[in-house]
Amino acid sequence: MNIRFIGTGGAFDIDYGNSSAIITCQGKNILIDCGHTVFPKLMQLNLVQTIDYILITHLHDDHAGSLSTLIFYLYFFFPQRKVPVIAPQKFQQELINFLNFSQKNTLQFTTFEDLPDFIQPIDTFNRHYPDMQTYGYVFSESNKHIVYSGDINDVHFLVEEVKKLNLDGEIIIFHDVTFNELAKISHAYYKDLELYLHEYPIWGYHCNPKMKPKDCKIPLVVENPNLLF
């Protein structure tokens, strides 16, 4: 299992790109999130044709803003590659409605499938933005598990949901992080994340590393070249 990030910034941190990653799990390359900076970056890196599945955490523009373009591109340039959007059943219609704004009939251009059994959703509805459907996801292969938080303001909730899964083996958490106390209504405040550093390896993303306070103990994805494309 492997994770490499396409971008590590938040919505406004354009120097770092919108947070997005390709997770290789059970032999499949899963693109997680496709914000407005992601399609151009995938093209520059020649990664579009490596993607097997597309997975979205929520429908803010910095997570889904170039999803429609990616689907069109795959349809027109790689028609032989079937690259489904995978999603929890409950989220599929919302994705279809969203894509229909630009594609009119998105089912003509892509397919939607339930999550494969090696990806478990964590339903984080209302924990990032009022009344918004959001998800974290857990990817499992052998005895290794990658937890990808998506955007969530409640670290405690996410950790408790992970515990409920009774995962055996090694767990590593990739979590959105903010250094601004006012932003903790939407994202994980670094001091709240630090409370779990003794239990799990945690890597922060969805932030501007230049804003990282000196006392912050959360290592950032952007600081580790092995985690970046």
Which positions from 136 through 165 interact with Zn ion, judged by CB under 5 A?
Answer: 151
Residue 182 to residues 13, 60, 186, Cα–Cα distance (Å): 17, 19, 9
**Measured from the CB atom, is 60 or 127 closer to Zn ion?**
60
Distance of CA 166 to the CA centre of its chain: 22
**Measured from the CB atom, is 58 or 145 closer to Zn ion?**
58
- Tell me the closest approach of the beta carbon of residue 154 to Zn ion, in angstroms: 14
Q: Could you please report the per-residue DSSP string of 195-218?
A: TTTTTS-EEEESS-GGG--TT--P
Tokens encoding 3: 């994770």
- Tell me the closest approach of the beta carbon of residue 166 to Zn ion, in angstroms: 29
Q: Pick the stretch among 28-36, 53-61, 76-84, 96-104 that binds Zn ion (CB under 5 A).
A: 53-61
- Tell me the closest approach of the beta carbon of residue 11 to Zn ion, in angstroms: 7
Among 63, 13, 5, 10, which residue's Cα sits nearest to residue 187?
10
Between 164 and 203, how does the x/- string for binding to Zn ion read (CB under 5 A)? ----------------------------------------
Among 18, 22, 34, 60, binds Zn ion (CB under 5 A): 60
Q: Does 13 bind Zn ion (CB under 5 A)?
A: no
Long-range contact pairs involving 197-200 (C-beta distance under 8 Å, separation at least 24)? 199/159, 200/159, 200/171, 200/172, 200/173
- Tell me the closest approach of the beta carbon of residue 131 to Zn ion, in angstroms: 13
CA torsion sign for 138, 140, 143, 148 is: negative
**CA gap 228, 224 in Å, rounded:** 7
Residue nearest to Zn ion (CB): 60
- Tell me the closest approach of the beta carbon of residue 148 to Zn ion, in angstroms: 14
What is the three-class DSSP state of 85? strand
**Measured from the CB atom, is 167 or 183 closer to Zn ion?**
183
Binding residues (CB under 5 A) for Zn ion: these are 60, 151
